[in-house]
Chain A
Amino acid sequence: MKFTLPKNVLIQIPFLFTLSGFVQLSILNGLHWQYVIAMTVWSLCFIGTYYGLRQTIPHINPFLLPIVSLLTGLGFLMVARLAPNFLIQQVIWLIFSIGILLIITLAPKNLNWLQKYKYIYFSGGLLLLSATYVVGVNPSGFGAKLWLRIGGLFFQPSELLKILFVMFMAAYFSDSSLKMSRPLWSIIPVVLMWGIAMLLLFWQPDLGTALLFFFTFLAILYVATGELVYLLAGVILLIMAGGIGAFTFDYVAQRLQGWWNPWTDPTGKYFQIIQSLLAFANGGWFGQGLGQGLPTAVPVVHTDFVFAAIGEEYGLLGTLGILFCYWLIVCQAFNITRRSHDKFHKYLAIGIGTIFAFQVLIITGGVLKLLPMTGITLPFISYGGSSLVTSYSMIWQ
């Protein structure tokens, strides 16, 4: 598929989109210096990166960066709209993320060490995650303590673990010494590592990320081994886990209840999900317009439920566009898989594609009450620094 658009248009569209959004917010709320800074940083980061990368890596995919920049721009707008206090923090995280993106992109691409030391860095990630049990905090002062505090910034280790996990699995399955003749035995180490990660996440409790790990694991396992049995076993395991969890842990039961019939307590425990549905219902085809809906009726809308805010203010077309953008990113990952001849690269790309796809699926499914609600971020858009950094690190190629 060959588009013959003038190349610069690709970055101009997100630029115009973000700019017009900020102009609209300024008209509605008055011009705030935060808007100016956010817009300026956004422009510098993306236009700079865009031209910079095109100079250094001419064969770079021309769609990926504009799509990401569009999503980030939308994310900025939503944070500016919903939680203006956090805008500057998000800007700082963007600068940080772009930095990591550039480092990864421009760094030599010998990834052998990633294969070699897979146990070490994955264990490191697990350790970091375990640290939240001891010194974990929650920036809002209540709720699950999933964050580590470094200086003034909060960092969510599970986000880092996500990428480490993908790398670990890719490295594991690309290992030539892996004996495919005895499939069950051969996957025991990886199952073990995955199991530890799952347990840690479940206990935290960070159900969303646990679910994400679960799906990603199954996907890579399936793609790598081609055994349908694993997939089936996984699904059964998930249902069992859900069942046991529902009876054992209140919060699991609560989540399931909120999914199945939130109207039992619409103003209390399930206020959030119901407000989210109402936000969508308010959106219509074209939405209420940026800054003109009432998405703030949804609690903590600027992180997990940002999709609901987009649904209300940009309508069906807006959400369609966003899902299409994610779809393009996922396709991009899978294209790499198809084109790449190196097994590690292949698995890595598939892992990243999967994790992206599932992350979007889980959160949007949750917000739409198609799946039980679990708190994870919508990549690039939701407020959240760790997520932003991780997402950016993942789109390198």
Chain B
Amino acid sequence: MSQAKIKRNIILFQIVILMSFSIFVVRIWWLQNMGENSATYQILANVNRFQDVAIDAPRGVMYDRNGTLLVRNRPMFDVVIVPAFLPDDETEKAQIYATLSGWLQLPITTAGERELPSRNGYFRSFMHHEYSRQPSMQVRNPRSRQVKNRPLGIKDSVEAGPAFAPYKPIVIAEDVEPKVVALIEENRLDLPGVLIEIGSQREYLMGELTSHVIGYVGAISPELEDSFPAPFYDPNEDVGIMGLEATYETYLHGQRGFEKIEVDVTGRKMRTINKEQESIPGNNLRLTLDLRLQEIATEALQNAIDVSKGQSGVAIAMDPRTGEILSLVSLPSYDNNLFATGISEREFLSLAENEQRPLLNKAISGQYPPGSTYKHLVVAGALEEGVITSEKVLFDPGVIYLPNRFVPYDLELAQPFFCWDRGGHGWVNAVRALTVSCDVYLYKIGGGWEQEDVEGLGVTRIGNYAARFGFGAVTGVDILGEEKGIVPTEQWKRHNFAEAWFIGDTYNMSIGQGFVLVTPLQLLNSYAAVANGGTFYQPYFVSEVRNLQQEIIYTAKPIVSGQLGISQETLDLVRQGLRGVVNLGGTAYPQIDLAGITSAGKTGTAEFCDEYPACLDEDGRVKTSHAWYVGYAPFDRPEIVSMAFVYGGGEGSAISAPVVNAIFRYYFGLDQDTAEAEHLLTTVAPDTLFKSRMVGSNIIHSPYASVSGIVFNHQKKGVPNVTIQLIADGRPFIHVKTNSVGQFHYETIDPNFAQNWQIELGNYPVENPIRLTVGTGIQYLLEFEAKSGSQ
């Protein structure tokens, strides 16, 4: 080929390349500047580079009636790895894994690990409990020692991630300690690809103490999807499942905001473009619950259960004037944090299959024979219906015999009905019948007694009065799961037992036995109506709801749900009977001791038989019984009505009355002596040296930072009236005092005013004053404790 031809080819070639380059330049120019097209790109780009994301709104929190925080949102930190950002070098990668492994207590790889003998469950769990922070492979609750699967090592997790999506963050460890977070953040330059993701975790500060009231949040289950529609709820969001969390979901749930953000390859936010809708945090609930009373009731009830070798129990206290529930205890309880953090199957089963049914709120869902506590309505009914008069006395010989229907004159075949006191109560009128809880009197007015010319109320009328007293219907309390109990009728028995109703059934019903079942709250509510003069209020737990700006957006007003509809005379007679119960000669005489404050009440010992015939004594009488007590005080102007129930507890007077007594004593401040003694304990000598520490932090929705904390003495008791000094950039700024239980709060620390704050005690030296570089919207939780050794 000729040189000229080659030359020509080359020039041709050069032209082709030059043209290509020119086309490229035009293309770039076009990409950058073509109006129509770049607009198209912009729109399409929004799909991609810009994302509309939801801003989570923090869920509202709850306080007890005195302002003690019961529920909070704890920041939760997850460690994630973006595989694409890991160093290419295997050695460096291994180094990162090793570092993380040390900090997170996770194995690098479990590939070579021997399969553990599955036979030995304990060994297994012992070997692996330290891996429990790893997600999905294990249970999510760190307290549990149980592992579902063999854990994956860090390296295994990364390699198990989808290879085609190396920018997808892989969660290595969930909910790691702040210490580890700090370590990772400090060393982030040496840990390319390792990131921290922040989430929020519901934390129930009181755990078991309030779990039956507060309930818990959990994932939206498929059947609930419709209740929590998409734009307002994220499918991954936690919603209230039980308790107040569920009832007040609409208040607690914040309104998610939306913003347009620019994301990088990993989908990580780089900057906010604009906020399309601000998120509105959930509203805070103030409960009617008194945490201290809840503690005292729990303690007393647990004690009663332990003493009586009972199984479970309920204690409730309520204000009869409004329906505010002051405390509600159902034992055994469960830790609702388990549900909030994700409960393991095993843990759930152990709770669900527990015979004592800790998950059941027995105060509203438990249905038990009420025993003698049912007598108030039977007596009231008999008086109202004129079955008896208040003066009429009936004789209690200790036992009466209900003649056999077919051979009425054969006493051998007659059915005996005993009084609880086999010695009998002698001549008894209506008031005294309640005071001494005379069963025979009740048999007679309930089922009739010809020999003394008592016609008897009969099953229907007892049922009517039971309904008037609120039985057989829900009370309307603001937590879910309320049962109705059973008010038996003839028809009911025929339907359920295919048997006719006998007089004997009426006798049993008259003393709250037989087919009668009530829930503890129903019982309490019926006595509340007796106490307040005949009005039923819907019991409730939430007194007010406040939004972020502390504006009250809901105030509970007592809701009247019904009237007793019983004459004042009858009511007074019933009250007199109940008054006598706590006086000399009454069934609860020594147990209710309120130092001069008058009260009234009713004991109940309800026989039940779970295991026939193990529950019978040698005479063939049922020996197992539930212990009930329900009472109110002061007698003239009742402020509190309270009940206690111990399943299988035995005598109501001996077992349950002391629980109510403890509740009353706390309520009326009768244990001032001990309170004062405690108060003495909660002071500290001058010059006591304190040490301080930061316990944690919360994310709050506020333009300010805040501090909350507690000052402890040597016994870990809160010290009241201690001055807390806040120092801004070296200058004293403000001081606050601790409240009666040693807590303090200061909510408006302005990070713009000063960044560096120091927190000291006013009157005591602090070994290590707390220094904070405050950030907007963070609540710092502090703790001061008297140093041991310095009295």
Contacts and interface: CB of A to CB of B under 8 A. Distances in A.
Contacts of B89: 139, 152
Main secondary structure of the interface of B (DSSP, over half): helix
B1 A226 contact: yes
Interface stretch (A128-136, A206-214, A235-243, A280-288): A280-288
Contacts of A155: none
B28 interface: yes
A297 B265 contact: yes
B41 interface: yes
Interface string B241-273: 000000000000000000000111100001000
Given A267-B48, A323-B24, A281 B32 contact: yes
A374 interface: no
Nearest to B267: A267
Interface in B57-108: 83-84, 86-89, 93
Main secondary structure of the interface of A (DSSP, over half): helix
A85 interface: yes
Interface string B23-67: 111011101110000100110110111000000000000000000
Contacts, number: 130
Given A277-B41, A281-B32, A142 B10 contact: no
A364 interface: yes
Interface string A267-308: 110010011011011011100000000101111100000000
A300 B1 CA distance: 46
Contact of A319 (B1, B28, B84, B163): B28
A281 B38 contact: yes
Given A139-B88, A223-B13, A330-B14, A278 B32 contact: no
B17 to A, nearest CB: 5
Contacts of A268: 165
B5 A280 contact: no
A250 to B, nearest CB: 11
Contacts of B88: 139-141, 154
A365 B89 CA distance: 31
A363 to B, nearest CB: 11
Interface string A224-249: 11100000000000000000000000
Nearest to B6: A223
B548 interface: no
B17 A330 contact: yes
A103 interface: no
Contacts of A326: 21
B17 A226 contact: no
B7 A266 contact: no
B49 A368 contact: no
A294 B265 CA distance: 10
Most buried by A among B17, B84, B165: B17
B264 A316 contact: no
Contacts of A365: 20, 24
B167 interface: yes
A361 interface: yes
Interface of B: 1, 5-7, 9-10, 13-14, 17-18, 20-21, 23-25, 27-29, 31-33, 38, 41-42, 44-45, 47-49, 83-84, 86-89, 93, 163, 165-167, 192, 262-265, 270
14 contacts: A141-B83, A271-B48, A277-B41, A278-B41, A280-B31, A284-B32, A311-B28, A316-B29, A320-B25, A320-B28, A330-B17, A337-B10, A364-B24, A370-B27
Interface of A: 85, 139-142, 152, 154, 180, 219, 222-226, 263, 266-268, 271, 274-275, 277-278, 280-281, 283-285, 294, 296-300, 311, 315-316, 319-320, 323, 326-327, 330-331, 334, 337-338, 346, 350, 354, 357, 360-361, 364-365, 368, 370
